[in-house]
């Protein structure tokens, strides 16, 4: 608040903050992050291209330094940092970022490896042919202009856009509370879809998908999402497509072969991809791969060597798809500004409809602009005909009269504009004044005038012009041209290949011992250790779980959240050292604790128990999780935790509570479920579950005495009962901690 102002107002801080934040949010949404559906550009893109147009950087002109262009953009239209403007220029020139680059760059503009472009003082650029289609007829009153930030220059609020750039090149941006992510598409297919829309009143999404099959990424690749999921994307404006690399099997001598990757998914940096694959190979997580190398030049050529000739190439690629960015998901959110500058998530049909409506407006405005020019010329031609018939008299009037203009207007009954045009004629033009030429030009302009008036008044004629321009565009940039052919292919059903190929079948089966420490560090050592005392741990840490298994086994981790997590034993850290945190392998919450480890055996069942004393039996094959997030099996109420998991290797269950009541009952009384909260194992009053044991009736019930001495009880009758019973006092000498 300023005392000098004399008009101090007290405003609630929350109201002031929300008002200013709303202004910031609207500014970000409308003037920075979201593109306009009509020309597919954000303000920085539009200003950059307009500045290049003002500098006359057409495809036929010489290149100009990018520093000069960026300077013009910042100085005249976009008063922001030069780095942001130059980064925009670089992206518009990268043929691996844009499907149809709008800028033709000369110099180092970055690479697929993620290399940065050279400084703008070293690079040069100019507009491309397709960029001119965005600005065509800009000088014919086709769009509105506004004053720039300092009111010294005019700039367009929109481009006429002769092609649907929003879909052809796509767009990405993060605003406040919303974002946009639109993939690039093939322009030939988009033209076919627009022509179909102009010839049909109510086309559906499926009708348009006859032509627009799916995205067409500049880096190629293969889309493995099915047509139903792509339909949902185009129908709702949201979804994702799965994109894989393109590869081929190259046969070598002596029956050997190598895999050659020729295209990688869109927006994947090749250098980071190679680094990730190299790490997987180093960590022995690619058991079928014998070696990798990068032979790329301007074209992608990544070599994957199999471990031996018997390895299946599909199995190798499946393991790479699963663990690297050779397979990615491109998330789609077609959130754009409509013709009223309102952000809307649009379907494919609405996006194309908005663009076609824009084209109709452009055609009408262009026709009106041309019509006004024709009317002006027709009026002048009528005046020139008077000159032709009275040339000597007009020369006399100009030479002798004090005010020749007014004299001619009165004498020949012409308009002020006609008189001005006659007076502004050069002498050399007089020899060209021939009646036939004047009449021919006049008649030709009358025909064009009639045509333009028809376009303005008749919507069908206007649509015919739009169609004609779309066909011309398709011929110039469609199939068969340098940039027109589709680059991204489709493979139906490829999403299900993973369930067919069993990667683990190719892992060499070796015995290992898995050790998990109390602080959550896990590792494996070769062989089945009998003595773990020689193993070293971090200071203050020690072993919590140890397990004998094989590299081909799947290890099931059970946490107190009721989730089961799965790790392939071969993927557990090997070698010397303390291992690696379990959190790197599994997506565990910080508060989550591991309760037990099991080997997944389809013939084995587990009893899972909650802290509430409920449980059920589940087949271990049902516990395998497909992701790092695990699989929720035991449902828990608020405040409850999982108690433990036990291999169901027996026919009896023993439970004991903190109230020192022991209950023995048949394992068959516990139902077998896939997931749930389970049934009550033992009823407690003012107590809770303390321990659980599964045993064979014939082997007797084993328990630990007060001094650690093991006891075996064969007479089970005193404690035997039905599930959910209260139980009875355990045998004399039973340990005071109520643990078996």
User: Is 122 a known active-site residue?
Assistant: yes
Distance (Å, rounded) from C-alpha 623 to C-alpha 417?
89
How far apart CA 140 and CA 362 sit, in angstroms, is 9
Report which of 217, 212, 247, 244 is spatially closest to residue 227, judged by C-alpha positions. 212
Estimate the crossing angle of helix 435-457 against helix 459-477, to 10 degrees: 100
Question: Which among 21, 24, 122, 532 is annotated as catalytic?
Answer: 122
Residue 38 half-sphere exposure toward CB, CA atoms < 13 A: 21
| Cβ 740 vs Cβ 654: under 8 Å | yes
Q: Are 302 and 294 in contact (CB under 8 A)?
A: yes
Q: Name residue, tokens 């086309």.
A: 203
Q: CB within 8 A of 340, min separation 6: which ones?
A: none
- The number of beta carbons lying within 10 Å of the beta carbon of residue 356 is 18
Integer CA distances (angstroms), 228 to 183, 206, 241, 329, 493, in order: 18, 10, 11, 16, 12
Q: How far apart are the first and last CA of the chain?
A: 73
Give the C-alpha separation, 395 to 401, whole Å: 10
Which residue, 80, 342, 450, is CA-closest to 350? 342
H-helix or E-strand spanning residue 171: strand 171-174
C-alpha dist (Å) from residue 447 to 98, 441, 454, 559, 678: 42, 10, 11, 83, 87
Alpha carbon separation from 556 to 53, 526, 564, 650 (Å, rounded): 63, 20, 6, 20
Contacts of residue 393, defined as CB under 8 A and 6 or more positions apart, other chains included, come to none
**So which residues are the catalytic ones?**
122
């Amino acid at each position: 608040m300023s005392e000098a102002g004399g008009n101090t107002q007290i405003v609630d801080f929350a109201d002031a903050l929300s008002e200013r934040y709303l202004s910031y949010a609207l500014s970000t949404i409308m003037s920075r992050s979201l593109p306009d559906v009509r020309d597919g550009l954000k303000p920085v893109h539009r200003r950059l291209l307009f500045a290049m147009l003002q500098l006359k950087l057409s495809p036929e002109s010489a290149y100009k330094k990018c520093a000069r262009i960026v300077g013009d953009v910042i100085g005249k239209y976009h008063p922001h940092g030069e780095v942001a403007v130059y980064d925009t220029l670089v992206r518009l020139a990268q043929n691996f970022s844009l499907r149809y680059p709008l800028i033709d760059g000369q110099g180092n503009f970055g690479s697929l490896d993620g290399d940065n472009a050279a400084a703008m003082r070293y690079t040069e650029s100019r507009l491309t042919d397709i960029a001119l289609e965005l600005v065509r007829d800009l000088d014919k009153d086709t769009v509105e202009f506004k004053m720039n930030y300092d009111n010294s220059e005019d700039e367009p609020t929109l481009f006429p856009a002769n092609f649907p750039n929003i879909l052809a090149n796509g767009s990405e941006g993060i605003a406040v509370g919303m974002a946009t992510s639109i993939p690039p598409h093939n322009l030939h297919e988009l033209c076919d879809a627009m022509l179909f829309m102009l010839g049909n009143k109510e086309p559906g999404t499926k009708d348009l998908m006859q032509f627009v099959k799916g995205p067409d990424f500049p880096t190629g690749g293969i889309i493995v999402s099915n047509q139903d999921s792509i339909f949902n994307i185009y129908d709702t404006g949201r979804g994702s497509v799965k994109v894989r690399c393109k590869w081929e099997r190259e046969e070598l001598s002596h029956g050997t072969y190598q895999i050659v990757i020729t295209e990688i998914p869109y927006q994947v940096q090749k250098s980071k991809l190679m680094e990730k694959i190299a790490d997987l190979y180093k960590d022995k997580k690619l058991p079928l791969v014998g070696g990798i190398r990068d032979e790329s030049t301007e074209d992608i050529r990544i070599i994957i060597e199999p471990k031996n000739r018997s390895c299946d190439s599909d199995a190798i690629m499946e393991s790479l798809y699963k663990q690297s960015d050779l397979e990615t998901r491109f998330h789609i959110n077609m959130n754009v500004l409509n013709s009223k500058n309102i952000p809307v998530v649009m379907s494919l049909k609405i996006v194309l409809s908005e663009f076609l409506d824009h084209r109709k407006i452009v055609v009408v405005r262009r026709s009106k602009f041309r019509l006004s020019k024709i009317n002006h010329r027709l009026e002048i031609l009528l005046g020139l005909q008077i000159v032709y018939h009275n040339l000597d008299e007009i020369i006399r009037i100009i030479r002798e009269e004090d005010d020749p203009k007014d004299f001619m207007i009165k004498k020949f009954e012409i308009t002020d504009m006609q008189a001005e045009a006659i007076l502004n004629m050069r002498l050399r033009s007089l020899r060209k004044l021939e009646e036939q030429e004047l009449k021919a030009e006049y008649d030709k302009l009358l025909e064009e005038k009639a045509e333009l008036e028809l376009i303005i008044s008749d919507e069908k004629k206007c649509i015919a012009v739009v169609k004609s321009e779309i066909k011309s565009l398709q011929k110039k940039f469609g199939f068969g041209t340098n940039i027109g052919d589709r680059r991204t292919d489709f493979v139906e059903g490829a999403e299900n290949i993973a369930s067919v190929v069993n990667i683990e079948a190719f892992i060499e089966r070796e015995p290992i011992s898995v050790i998990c420490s109390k602080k959550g560090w896990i590792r494996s050592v070769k062989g089945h250790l009998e003595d773990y005392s020689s193993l070293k741990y971090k200071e203050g840490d020690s072993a919590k779980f140890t397990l004998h298994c094989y590299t081909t086994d799947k290890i099931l981790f059970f946490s107190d959240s009721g989730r089961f997590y799965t790790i392939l034993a071969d993927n557990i850290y090997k070698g010397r050292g303390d291992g690696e945190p379990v959190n790197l392998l599994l997506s565990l919450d910080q508060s989550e604790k591991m309760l037990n480890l099991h080997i997944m055996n389809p013939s084995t069942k587990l009893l899972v128990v909650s802290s509430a004393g409920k449980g059920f039996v589940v087949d271990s094959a049902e516990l395998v999780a497909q992701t790092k997030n695990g699989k929720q099996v035991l449902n828990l109420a608020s405040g409850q935790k999982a108690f433990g998991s036990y291999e169901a290797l027996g026919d009896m269950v023993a439970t004991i509570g903190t109230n020192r009541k022991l209950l023995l009952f048949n394992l068959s009384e516990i139902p077998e479920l896939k997931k749930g909260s389970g049934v009550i194992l033992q009823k407690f009053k003012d107590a809770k579950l303390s321990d659980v044991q599964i045993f064979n009736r014939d082997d007797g019930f084993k328990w630990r005495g007060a001094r650690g001495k093991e006891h075996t009880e064969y007479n089970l009758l005193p404690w035997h009962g039905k599930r959910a019973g209260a139980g009875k006092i355990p045998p004399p000498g039973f340990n005071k901690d109520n643990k078996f």
